[in-house]
Structure 1
């Protein structure tokens, strides 16, 4: 939201109060509060009729400094608030009498906030390791504003340096670099082709070695170099604003700290990494259709892990009542049992909306479990489902009620849920716990997904819960997996989907998927076949569409071959992918990573949004054309094609042409890549029979490779000295092997924990 007309003037009708002079500083053990007048104070009389702006600095954990800007403090505090994981650590506070200068400081870990107590308003955020000012609030940054309609806002503007890039702000489908963009944090069901987003996250990551998290669940308006070209501006309606500056110095360090603060992704089950197949949305299907699809996959030797039933598993006009349509699925328990006997997991579509025809509507109304209008009646509308209401997840009894309905599906054999929707949440309603409707608009999806995820954990166990969720806000990464929503079946939409996933990855989310081939419309065979490698080299992979089936043989025989090739490739990489998933869970680093996350010092990688790193060692560049031409940015070093063995030395761009059965897939130099002994399913002991592929290990190389093994892990230490590589294993459950790239494979029998190979 903009407040100025150019640099000098405010927009018509807008008034502004700015902190100009620090009047007082008060320190406690863990806070530093600054009282700033909005005009210079030269005499006592100047304190009369003079507003104050109160700025409080605090720290929830090492390397994170919070700032709360307040005007009037008498308002009612209405939730919700983001749930933050606080661990204050060692906070050091100093006022001018201690610093001996006109500055007050709050230091948390390597990050220090320095408030100028004389002269113009200034708060600098400094990396004490090198003395570098990461960003700052300057004399014209903080504003308490009133617009022509009498609405109040609080604004902050933080400095951006020359060449500084800003990333994140949720799953956004435009340019990966957010400089020059206006972004409103307001969840919307807008598809992937607009500037709206399903997953809005008020957090941005800067290439200058820090991040900023705005701790406001309601609409936050960001102007990234658009109100003032050298500032990242954010504002909220009301009388206060809280934000956190998160220290790096690397982008990975920023994400580690940010996800420690807002929550890290749960560990997902291994079976979820396999291929998911859906009924699609508005297609016609029954048990015979489902059986035909599953048979077809088996007959064509296409590994399948999860079968998904979309909306019409329930009766039309009854969503959601969680009752199988008896006309198409007369024996759901028997059907699910038969599917599970074939080794499949089952997913069903749900949403938090209750149609008027649903048997749950009257029950929810009577028990007070649906969101209400101010007059006490149930809020309803006709969009999506006729007369639908909305489950009130601020009511603990409503949560238990909703979970109990889903528990019945789990008893039937369902394993997970596609938690669709949750974006179009009204603001003219009353919530059970008195929450602010403006804040609940974005936060609702968090309560919705948390309720379902916690049920799955309770019923299936930790590490066995997984969702397929569309909407989210800050903290939603704790309840994976998320997918990119409704995209068109075109190459352009394929690219915009990737941009959305990479943007979400830099917003703290660890796992992400998308509809292979696109959702809207029917992809031609070329689009479908190009999308397959991208989809199967994502953390999670699903065949799903709107009004057409997505079984590969619906396109052509080559599509079947491409599906088989890349599904089996992904399954063979499970030792590597499962560990990448553990890193997401333990450190908050995404499985799919923008190039800038792995190569922050490489200026060539800063804006690349058409390729990504899968984990830390595999470079994937999807092909966005039928002809197969693709430009790939290769960072420094000699990279090896996993599919062809060809080597490319960077840093440079290379142009390649690929058939439908190929994609640029490069192994990073200095990699020990664990590859599984099987390629038919994702849920095996990944260390049993694993082969360690040694790729471009330099002399003197030392590394540790961890491979998940049951509830534990096998740990392989690798050291190269001259022409020999020594590998030592701890915890390997059986035989394993080592293979220097381009050389013979060396088998290591069970019980042998060390081997030396020539390279």
Structure 2
């Protein structure tokens, strides 16, 4: 939302009043409270008939300071609110000093300094050791605004027809870039964009997003978390080119400045504030196969899919039943379609016993169709959101007469968990929590009388996913719960995992998805997936195979479509050649299986650090390389592997390697960065480069599926090591079983924890026996 028409004029229909100075500074328990009139006070008469903005600046914990701007403090503080500091708030040591540069509040590594001249409005945020200026609230950067505009203040006697906004503008330095704000599919660097944080079901090819996260990361070593679960409008260098403007409707606007100084440290501290990602089990990293959405399927179809995958040497760890496991017009009533699945419990048990899959997932959403068994009971008990006249809130969008589960009602949550437990009794192990974006804000009454409908819109997804995730934890164990969620807001990273939503079957959509995954990873989410092959449309074989290569290098990998199946033999008429879809999928699935010792160890580290496993933006590892902040077509898997997906049918790809020596995973060819490179690939490879100084543990070539003994028949691959490099080895339950370390003599120590016929490869990995690699340098 823009409040000005260029630099000099106020936008038509807007009345904007800026804090023009700091009239008083009052020390508080953890900081400073600033009284800021919207005019310069030269005489006592200037204090009359003027608005003031109160700015409260508080030390939160080491390197974190909050800033809250308030116009009328008498406004009710309605909920919901973000669940901050879920594991406890760290101790804080707030220091206040006064000197010639002004009044300074210091919180560990971060300081905020108020200009000493009360007529000069400037709050400077800096590294406490004065090593770096981060950002400022400079002249005309904190304001209140009304629309429609008026000339007579008496009209504010009745605010029902007047909208009131609070806005702040933090400065952008020369060359500064901004990233994050959830899963956004446009340009990776958000400078120049208008961004609205409002969850919407808009696909992956628009400015709408399923996962709006009110946190952004700056290339200058800080981040900003906006503590407002409702609609937030940002003008990121798009109203004033040198500022990030944040605005909300209401009387208050609060945000937290988080100093790193590295981006990883920023994400770590953001994790303290809003919560760390949950741990996911090793089986979830294997291949997930779906029925797809509107396709026809029944028990026989499911069996044929899984048997066909086994025949083609493609291990499926999780089978997913999408929407039509329930009858049409009855979603979500939690009842299997008895015509298609006469005995789901027995079928699921047979699938697992036969080894065709390890786990089973089903699709649900929080919308309850009127024709389903669940609606009448939920409506009678008051478990559904209501209209202001007392009716159940219903519409015919998506499902006929659907209502919405009211997760602010504890009894509704308990009922919903009971419905989930019936699924768990049948043998369901994981839940795809779809939707949660179309949450009404008009003519709505929540069970919690303090819940503001506008604030509930984005926050609903937190409550929805929390209920399902904790139900899974209670049934299967704390670290065995897995969601497949589409919507999210700040804090939802605690309930992994998410996927990228409805993308088209095009190379452009694959690139959009990569940008979305990168942005979400810089918003505190450790795990992410995508619909391999694209959701909408019918992918031609070349797109399917390129997407398979990218998708099997995401932290989690799922084959899923809309109106067409994604089993490989339906894509290319069952081409059985080495370059066909089936062999391509088999090779990439088996490669991910071999990478599991590395992937799972990296995943456990990501849970502690709030840094993404994959897709991991290159800037997290190479923050001092300016190019890394603009790389949005490639990503890292953990901190050792660089991946460049291929978006061309020809197999041509251009990618960047930062400073250092990089070894091709497929050929052991070494390239030196920094620099751009071009290659042409067949379907069995892509640019997958290993960082120098890496000890890469690969699992057995004979392993199938993500869960096996990672220490048995392992290959220890050394990449440009010089001594002292290590690799932590964990088992498939996440327990550390040893540390492998390269000695000064180049030999690997700690191998006593390895089992079977393990080996060490001193110059990359052993490529003997691999399928021929078709890689051409251009």
Q: Give the TM-score category using the shorter length.
A: over 0.9
SS of the residue corresponding to residue 630 of structure 2 reads coil
Select the residue among 240, 257, 268 that pairs with 2:280. Answer: 268
SS of the residue corresponding to residue 276 of structure 1 reads strand
Aligned length: 740
Select the residue among 515, 525, 534 that pairs with 2:550. Answer: 534
Aligned to 1:423: 437
Superposition deviation, residue 214 in structure 1: 0.4
1:336 and 2:358 are equivalent in the alignment: no
What aligned pairs does 1:296-315 form with structure 2 within 5 A after superposition? Answer: 296-315=308-327
What aligned pairs does 1:446-595 form with structure 2 within 5 A after superposition? Answer: 446-556=462-572, 557=575, 558-592=580-614, 593-595=616-618
Change (3 A) 1:315 1:196: same
Task: Judge conservation of contact 1:186–1:200 (CA < 8 Å) in 2.
Answer: yes
Tell me, in whole angstroms, the C-alpha distance in 2 between the residues paired with 1:153 and 1:731: 61
Task: Judge conservation of contact 1:320–1:353 (CA < 8 Å) in 2.
Answer: yes
Tell me, in whole angstroms, the C-alpha distance in 2 between the residues paired with 1:641 and 1:88: 43
**Long gaps (5+) in structure 2:** 149-160, 768-778
Bigger shift: residues 43-52 or 467-476: 43-52
Task: Judge conservation of contact 1:205–1:212 (CA < 8 Å) in 2.
Answer: yes
Superposition deviation, residue 104 in structure 1: 2.1
Aligned to 1:751: none
Tell me, in whole angstroms, the C-alpha distance in 2 between the residues paired with 1:584 and 1:203: 18
Select the residue among 253, 265, 277 that pairs with 2:289. Answer: 277
Task: Judge conservation of contact 2:693–2:720 (CA < 8 Å) in 1.
Answer: yes
Task: Judge conservation of contact 1:714–1:729 (CA < 8 Å) in 2.
Answer: no
Tell me, in whole angstroms, the C-alpha distance in 1 between the residues paired with 2:301 and 2:740: 49
Task: Judge conservation of contact 2:31–2:94 (CA < 8 Å) in 1.
Answer: no
Aligned to 1:629: 652
Change (3 A) 1:533 1:744: closer
Tell me, in whole angstroms, the C-alpha distance in 1 between the residues paired with 2:733 and 2:76: 51
TM (normalized to structure 1)? 0.95
Superposition deviation, residue 131 in structure 1: 3.1
Change (3 A) 1:277 1:711: closer
Tell me, in whole angstroms, the C-alpha distance in 1 between the residues paired with 2:252 and 2:365: 34
Select the residue among 224, 228, 236 that pairs with 1:212. Answer: 224
Change (3 A) 1:305 1:709: closer
1:253 and 2:269 are equivalent in the alignment: no
1:657 and 2:680 are equivalent in the alignment: yes
Superposition deviation, residue 387 in structure 1: 0.4
Task: Judge conservation of contact 1:260–1:588 (CA < 8 Å) in 2.
Answer: no
Tell me, in whole angstroms, the C-alpha distance in 2 between the residues paired with 1:51 and 1:136: 23
**Long gaps (5+) in structure 1:** 746-759
What aligned pairs does 1:41-440 form with structure 2 within 5 A after superposition? Answer: 41-85=41-85, 87-94=89-96, 98-101=97-100, 103-118=102-117, 119-148=119-148, 150-343=162-355, 344=357, 345-428=359-442, 429-434=444-449, 435-440=451-456
Q: Deviations over 1:197-234 (max 9, x none)?
A: 00001111000110011000001001000000000111
Task: Judge conservation of contact 2:665–2:764 (CA < 8 Å) in 1.
Answer: no
TM (normalized to structure 2)? 0.93
Tell me, in whole angstroms, the C-alpha distance in 2 between the residues paired with 1:93 and 1:153: 32
Tell me, in whole angstroms, the C-alpha distance in 1 between the residues paired with 2:553 and 2:764: 23
SS of the residue corresponding to residue 655 of structure 1 reads strand
Change (3 A) 1:269 1:668: same
Tell me, in whole angstroms, the C-alpha distance in 2 between the residues paired with 1:709 and 1:544: 26
Aligned to 1:752: none
Tell me, in whole angstroms, the C-alpha distance in 1 between the residues paired with 2:221 and 2:103: 23
Superposition deviation, residue 720 in structure 1: 4.3
Superposition deviation, residue 708 in structure 1: 4.0
Task: Judge conservation of contact 1:112–1:126 (CA < 8 Å) in 2.
Answer: yes
Change (3 A) 1:256 1:729: farther
Task: Judge conservation of contact 1:170–1:203 (CA < 8 Å) in 2.
Answer: yes
Tell me, in whole angstroms, the C-alpha distance in 2 between the residues paired with 1:302 and 1:709: 20
Aligned to 2:632: 609
Bigger shift: residues 679-688 or 239-248: 679-688
Change (3 A) 1:562 1:143: same
Task: Judge conservation of contact 1:670–1:701 (CA < 8 Å) in 2.
Answer: no
Superposition deviation, residue 329 in structure 1: 0.6
SS of the residue corresponding to residue 366 of structure 1 reads helix
Change (3 A) 1:403 1:744: closer
RMSD, aligned CA: 1.6
SS of the residue corresponding to residue 750 of structure 2 reads strand
Task: Judge conservation of contact 1:31–1:58 (CA < 8 Å) in 2.
Answer: yes
Task: Judge conservation of contact 1:25–1:33 (CA < 8 Å) in 2.
Answer: yes
Aligned to 1:596: 619
Q: Deviations over 1:482-528 (max 9, x none)?
A: 00000001111111111111111111111000011001011011110
Superposition deviation, residue 25 in structure 1: 1.6
Superposition deviation, residue 705 in structure 1: 3.0
Superposition deviation, residue 729 in structure 1: 5.2
Change (3 A) 1:65 1:733: farther
SS of the residue corresponding to residue 504 of structure 1 reads helix
Task: Judge conservation of contact 1:3–1:11 (CA < 8 Å) in 2.
Answer: yes
Change (3 A) 1:26 1:361: same
Tell me, in whole angstroms, the C-alpha distance in 2 between the residues paired with 1:88 and 1:596: 28
Tell me, in whole angstroms, the C-alpha distance in 2 between the residues paired with 1:342 and 1:121: 71
Q: Deviations over 1:716-759 (max 9, x none)?
A: 242443x53342358667775432125889xxxxxxxxxxxxxx
Tell me, in whole angstroms, the C-alpha distance in 2 between the residues paired with 1:134 and 1:490: 40
Change (3 A) 1:70 1:731: farther
1:40 and 2:64 are equivalent in the alignment: no
Tell me, in whole angstroms, the C-alpha distance in 1 between the residues paired with 2:77 and 2:55: 18
Tell me, in whole angstroms, the C-alpha distance in 1 between the residues paired with 2:124 and 2:707: 50
Superposition deviation, residue 701 in structure 1: 4.1
Tell me, in whole angstroms, the C-alpha distance in 2 between the residues paired with 1:743 and 1:376: 67
Select the residue among 720, 727, 738 that pairs with 2:749. Answer: 727
Q: Deviations over 1:361-394 (max 9, x none)?
A: 1111110000000111100000000000000001
Task: Judge conservation of contact 2:282–2:732 (CA < 8 Å) in 1.
Answer: no
